[in-house]
Structure 1
Amino acid sequence: MSDGRSVSGQLKKFVFRGKSSSKGDSRGEYLEIVIPELLTAGYSFYTWPSAPLLAWYLWTQRRHLRGLRVLELGCGTGLPGILAAKCGARVTLTDSVALPRSLRHLSACCEANGLVPNRDVKILGLAWGLFLSEVHSLRPVDLLLASDCFYEPSQFEEVLSTVAYLLDGTDARFLCSYQERSADWSIEALLKKWGLKGALLDLDSLSESSGVDYRSLVGDRSLHLLEIVAV
């Protein structure tokens, strides 16, 4: 994990489009999100391919987001959570409490999209697997989000224990996009241990219903979208 210094940067633009639901309105719906990236600062300063996939899914569900209590874990540049906030959700963005510079950059990403930190969105540092007062204050939530949080196997249980606590006794769900990096990595046993169950979402069907091909976002990468709920 790195919270290092940057020597170069870029502004990356993500555009989401959809047909309007209003009769006679042919303009459609449009949302543009810009993310300032610091390319050599560390992996939390870059938007990894799983994040646009999760953001795309949220965009297809945008009419159901308004008013939801949404929490993103390990959010890095925060693309999915920022999109949810722009669609009317009540969003809390979190990343490692050990990476204060990453949290400051996350604030800058929000501000680049007209969101005032701790007014329009909350930003909080967390330590996965440690149930400190900050974690207790996050309940209740309606929707948990994460992209590429299953990156380092040694942290899988820390992530899922935190998810289990936040979902316990609720109808909330956890949506996680991830890149398949090794066939030997599995969270199945940990899901059972922590009283959770997961199912992969059918991205091809979602593409058909939304009219947007998710493959245009992910290319030839092996990316998946997993929904996890409490048993």
Structure 2
Amino acid sequence: MSCFVNDDDPFPADECLFADTFSQESIYKLMGQELKITQIFGANLGVAAPVWESAIQLCRYFEKQRVEWRGRRVIELGAGTGVVGIVAARLGADVTLTDLPVTLPPLEANVCANMPSSGWPASPPTVLPLSWGEDHTKFPSDWDLVVGADIVYLPDTYPRLVDTLAHLCKKNTVVYLSSKMRNEHKAPGFFEEHLPSRFYVQLVHRDDSENINIYRATLKKDQK
């Protein structure tokens, strides 16, 4: 079953509320781009299903900073619905979106649904599986930007996430991570202890109302 919900409407259609699995199509206007994103809610996708507020805020931060995307190589970790990476690709970046294998079919569908009418400005976005700390060495280390929105929520994964970021960032890459600062998930500890063990970390944006931080990080020279 599917239902259409405009992003301005806070209440989804009633028939979707109690379905075991349902899809919700929403429109987002970010960085001058209009995206049509389908979110598939069900037991299999879990946290990969929704568009998280951290992703919206990261896009708005990039817009405010007037980030230039054309010609830049970007990889998104834990892409989920793909909002951040898709916007970057529509603005001319060469984008690779990654997540766990189970999340890739709906992610690929969102990529296809948001191809500009004139075609992708650069190469079409690539969608690939990536399990942190396991197969990250299959990826190159020459990205311009690594981005992630709300991917810091499982403490057991933090060392593997840092290992993956360190591998991806060996060529002067800049990391931007937007995160809900959940104390119960020890998110502050990731940015105060785990990430600084190998990266220079700077808080560049704070939203008190949503408890969301955006961090900029670069790999320490002795780690390259």
TM category, shorter: 0.7 to 0.9
The correspondence for 2:194, drawn from 190, 197, 215, is 190
Correspondence 1:73 to 2:77: yes
Residue 175 (1) aligns with residue 164 (2): no
In structure 2, the CA distance between the partners of 1:221 and 1:112, relative to structure 1 (3 Å rule), is same
Q: Take 1:136 and 1:8, find their aligned partners in 2: how far apart are those partners?
A: 34
Q: Deviations over 1:91-115 (max 9, x none)?
A: 0000013x2xx10110011111116
Task: Select the residue among 83, 89, 95 that pairs with 1:91.
Answer: 95
Paired with 1:62 and 1:113, the residues of 2 have a C-alpha distance of 22
Which one is further off, 181-190 or 104-113? Answer: 181-190
Return closer, same or farther for 1:61/1:138 CA change in 2, 3 Å cut-off: farther
Residues 174 and 227 of structure 1 are in contact (CA less than 8 Å); yes or no, is this contact kept in structure 2?
Answer: yes
Gap runs ≥5 in structure 1: 18-29, 204-214
Measure the CA separation in 2 of the matches of 1:192 and 1:221: 24
Task: Report what 1:155 is aligned to.
Answer: 157
Partner of 2:60: 56
* Structure-1-length-normalised TM-score: 0.76
Q: Which amino acid aligns with 2:161?
A: V
Identify the residue that residue 14 of structure 2 maps to in structure 1. none
- Please name the residue that 2:3 is paired with: none
Query: How many equivalent pairs are there?
Result: 193
Question: Residue 25 of structure 2 contacts residue 39 of structure 2 at CA under 8 Å; is this kept in 1?
Answer: yes
CA gap of 1:177–1:111, structure 2 versus 1, over 3 A, is same
Residue 27 of structure 2 aligns with which residue? 13
The TM-score, its normalising length taken from structure 2, stands at 0.78
Query: Following TM superposition, by how much is the alpha carbon of 1:69 offset from its aligned partner in structure 2, in angstroms?
Result: 0.3
Give distance in 1, aligned partners of 2:210 and 2:92. 30
Determine if contact 2:205/2:215 at 8 Å carries over to the other structure.
Answer: no
Q: Is the alpha carbon distance of 1:6 and 1:164 closer, same or farther for their aligned partners in structure 2, counting shifts above 3 Å?
A: farther
Q: CA deviation at 1:9?
A: 1.5
Higher normalized contact order (CA 8 Å, seq sep 6+, divided by chain length)? 1
Q: 1:141 to 1:44 in 2, by over 3 A?
A: same
Deviation at 1:6, TM superposition (A): 6.0
Q: Give the residue type in structure 2 aligned to 1:45.
A: A
What is the alpha-carbon distance in structure 1 between the residues aligned to residue 169 and residue 201 of structure 2?
Answer: 13
CA distance, structure 1, for counterparts of residue 76 and residue 47 of structure 2: 17
CA distance in 1, matches of 2:85, 2:172: 20
Gaps (5+ residues) in structure 2? Answer: 1-18
What letter is aligned with 1:162? Answer: T
8 Å contact from structure 1 (residues 126, 135) kept in 2: no
Does the alignment pair 1:199 with 2:197? no
Q: Of the candidates 145, 148, 157, which is equivalent to residue 146 of structure 1?
A: 148
Q: Within 5 Å, give how 1:10-49 maps onto structure 2.
A: 10-16=24-30, 30-41=32-43, 42-49=46-53
8 A contact 2:90–2:115 mirrored in 1: no
Change (3 A) 1:124 1:6: farther
Matched residue, 2:10:
none
Does the CA-based 8 Å contact 1:62-1:84 persist in structure 2?
A: no
Question: How far does the alpha carbon of each residue in 1:94-150 deviate from its partner, in whole angstroms, 9 at most, with x for none?
Answer: 0013x2xx1011001111111689x510110011012x3x63333310000001111
Q: What fraction of aligned residue pairs are identical, expressed as a percent?
A: 28
Deviations 1:43-95 (A, max 9, x none): 21211111111122233345511110000001100100001001100000000
3-state secondary structure, aligned to 1:154: helix
Root-mean-square deviation over aligned CA pairs: 2.4
User: Displacement of 1:154 after TM fit?
Assistant: 1.0
**C-alpha contact (below 8 Å) 1:58/1:80 kept by paired residues:** no
Aligned partner of 2:13 in structure 1 is: none
Shift of 1:225: 0.3
Q: Which residue in the other structure is 1:229 paired with?
A: 218
